[in-house]
Amino acid sequence: MYIMTLEPREHLICNVNDFQYLAKAKLPKELYEYLASGTDDEQTLAENRAAFKLWYLRPRVLRPLSSINTSISLFGQNLNVPFFVSPAGVMALCDEKHGECATANACANIGTMFGLSQHSTRSIEQVASCAPGTNKWYQCYILKDRAMTRRLLRRARDAGYRGIFWTVDSPRFGFREADARNGFNALPFPHRLENYHEADSSRRDLTYNAKQHAAWDQNTEQMIDTNVTWEDVQWIKQEIGSLPLVIKGIMTGEDALLAVEAGADGVMVSNHGGRQLDGCLATIDVLPEVVAAVGGRVPVLIDGGFRRGTDILKALALGASAVGIGKPVFFALSVGGEGAVTQMFHILKTELEAAMALCGVTSIQDVGSSLVTRHPTGGAISYYHRAKL
C-alpha cells in the first residue's frame, strides 16, 4: 500500500482531508481554488459537508463480527467497495503525465468503477488503453452538436465502457467567483479536452478556451444544448444499446420519478459538488426524498461532500446504492498520483469497515435505515469544530 508522509509529524496523512491540506500547499492558487471552490456564496458547497453532522449513526453491540465485507453488486457489476470515482474533468491539471489514467488505475487497485468525464484531458480511447482492467463508465453532456454527442457515446460503447452517466444539471454552468478573480478562464497550455479533438473536427478549443468570459466554465457552457428534455433519455439509450444509463444531477423526488418513468436505469443525487445552483440542499438531505420517490425500482447513487467512511455508511443507511467521490480525488492526485489516490481509497475503506463493525453489520446488504437517525433536538445546521487533542 502506498504511504505518503510529510514532516513535521502532524502532517502525516491520516484521513481524506489531509490530501486537501497538502494539495493547497503544493498547487498554484488559481488551480487550487478552481478545484476547491463553489458557486456564488458557496452555501451549498459548505452544507454538503456540514449536513452529515446532523445525521447520527446508531451503534449496535454483541453481534458476531468475524469478517467485514464491503463488496456490492451494482447494475450486475461487482465492486469491492460501495464507493466509486464520480466523473469530473481535467485531471491532467493535477497529474500532467498520467491525468485520468492514474485515477482509472487506482480504481482498479481498489476494485471499483471509474467515471470518465466528457471533459477529460485523456480521451475515451486513451483511458481504455491505459487502464484495461478498470470498470470504466463514461459521462456525457448533450452538446448543441448532436452528431458529435452521438459519436462520443458510440466511442465509449465501442471502447468497452460499461455504463453511461448523463449529467443533466448544467444547462448553464455556475459562476465561480474565485475563477474570475484569479483569471482562470482557459485551460493552461498544452492541456485540452481530448474527447472533442477528432481528426475531422473543427477547432473546438476555440470555443471552450475562447476567453470571452471571466471564468472558464462560462466559455465551456456555450457548447451545451439547453433544450434537452426527458425524451432524450430514449435518444441516448438508442445510442448505447444495453449499457445502463444513470441520470446524474437529480435533486428532487419529482425529477427522480420522471427519470424512472423516462427509462433511466439509475439516478444520481448530485448538486455538482456545490458548483451549480447555490442555495440548494446538501445531497445527503435530498437522498431520503429521492429514495422514497424511486421506491426501489432503480439504484440511487449519490455524491457531494463525502470525506469519511461514516459519511458513506450514513448514505447507504438512507438508501443509497453507492457513493461517488469527487474533489478528494483531485487533491490526492496532485499530492502523489495513482499511489496517493489508491491510499485515499484504502483510508475510506478502512474507516467504512470500522464504522460497520461498530454498528454491528458485516456486509453492505445488512445496512438499513435503522442504523441512522436525526438528532433528537432537530434544529438547523450548526458549525462543527473538532476538539483539540
SS3 123: coil
Separation between Cα atoms, residue 213 and residue 341, nearest integer Å: 33
Return the H-helix or E-strand segment holding 181.
helix 177-182
Separation between Cα atoms, residue 175 and residue 185, nearest integer Å: 11
Could you tell me how far CA 167 lies from the centroid of its own chain?
Answer: 11
| Residues in Cβ contact with 171 at an 8 Å cutoff, skipping those fewer than 6 apart | 224, 226, 228
**Quick check: 107 and 134 in contact, CB under 8 A?**
yes
Beta bridge partners of 77: 74
Separation between Cα atoms, residue 68 and residue 353, nearest integer Å: 6
Catalytic pick among 272, 346, 375, 385: 272
Place of cell 493552461: 188
Taking the CA of residue 269 as centre, how many other CA atoms within 13 Å lie in the half-sphere pointing to its CB? 37
The DSSP bridge pattern shows strands 266-269 and 300-303 to be parallel
Query: Helix crossing, 16-26 with 327-358: angle to 10°?
Result: 160
* 272 annotated active-site: yes
Q: Is the dihedral of CA 241, 243, 244, 247 positive or negative?
A: negative
Quote the cell numbers at residue 317: 443507511
Residues carrying an active site annotation: 272
